[in-house]
Amino acid sequence: MKPTENERPVFPFTSIVGQEEMKLALLLNVIDPKIGGVMIMGDRGTGKSTTVRALVDLLPEIQVVANDPFNSDPHDPQLMSQEVRAMIQSQKEVPVTTTKITMVDLPLGATEDRVCGTIDLEKALTEGVKAFEPGLLAKANRGILYVDEVNLLDDHLVDVLLDSAASGWNTVEREGISISHPARFILIGSGNPEEGELRPQLLDRFGMHAQVGTVKDAESRVKIVEQRARFEEDPKSFRDAYQASQDQLSQQIRDARERLGSVQISYDLRLKISQVCAELDVDGLRGDIVTHRAAKALASLKSRQEVTPQDILTVIPLCLRHRLRKDPLESIDSGLLVQEKFSQVFGYSFQ
């Protein structure tokens, strides 16, 4: 029998060597999806896709309405389809089941209809019903939407994805017929900078920007190669060896999601974050907002109720580096520029 998608062995997240920046950005977005997603840029063969797919293994189960194509939340009106809302309003019984948070892969050649869904005009006109065929955005609701080689995707399609990710809704309009459904997902894009950059206004819409590079340390490279060989030889025993650490991290994520609402960030720290953004000449307020959210998510991940300057130092390069204006004469990495400005404003050394 052909194995289903769920039966394919996935490389354990906790066994991935290095790439701490990428792993942290992914974990923080899972704890607080409102951070706004991650753009992962780096060399080929650095484990970008492997790490994203490994993340799904750690995610908790969620309650969904049974047989609903939008993974509707049975309790939150903002995350349920119009049909489910109508059932609740008419006090009909809504069947509920639990499922793992899903990850949807967006293929490079996908059309807008495939992504957003289509309306069957013939059925709508002849039968008078809104016949909607859901797309990938419907499937990704309350899950993760992963776009590999996002920098090669048509700009118009990237715009559609970012609009849905920001608003939490997808609207399809054809010949005067309009259908909306919830589309709240964590958008993760990856790409190789050698194959072209995203336009700055699109890049700015991603909450965080993680950079990954090829591991240079010989011992680490050997360890990565050995682990990959062991996994391919016997995936089950390799996964079993990491089951305890996987379970521990999964529980840590669940606890952090529950704790997040009570985490505090002092006015003084918020003021300094905004001062860093202003002095770096960051356009708009997205940088300030994302840095606040990411710092609180990190404090929550570390089982703390209060954000520290160290939390901000850890996340601020990820939140701001892609929002800085490009200076062709500047040779220093944008992440280091952010750290230097942080050090000046906070009076806090990162050495």
Query: Which pairing describes strands 61-65 and 96-100: parallel, antiparallel, or unpaired?
Result: antiparallel
142 catalytic per annotation: no
| First-to-last C-alpha distance (Å) of the chain | 56
Can you tell me the distance from the alpha carbon of 147 to that of 151, in angstroms, rounded to the nearest whole number? 9
The maximal CA–CA distance of the chain, rounded, in angstroms, is: 70
User: For residue 317, what are the contacts with CB-CB under 8 A and spacing of at least 6?
Assistant: 334, 335, 336, 338, 339
**Which candidate in 142, 184, 205, 286 is catalytic?**
286
SS3 for the chain, per residue? CCCCHHHCCCCCHHHCCCCHHHHHHHHHHHHCHHHCCEEEEECCCCCHHHHHHHHHCCCCEEEEECCCCCCCCCCCHHHCCHHHHHHHHCCCCCCEEEEECCEEECCCCCCHHHHHEEECHHHHHHHCCCCEEECHHHHHCCCEEEEECHHHCCHHHHHHHHHHHHHCEEEEEECCEEEEEECCCEEEEEECHHHCCCCHHHHCCCCEEEEECCCCCHHHHHHHHHHHHHHHHCHHHHHHHCHHHHHHHHHHHHHHHHHHHHCECCHHHHHHHHHHHHHCCCCCCHHHHHHHHHHHHHHHHCCCCECCHHHHHHHHHHHHHHHCCCCCCCCCCHHHHHHHHHHHHHCCCCC
Residues noted as catalytic: 286
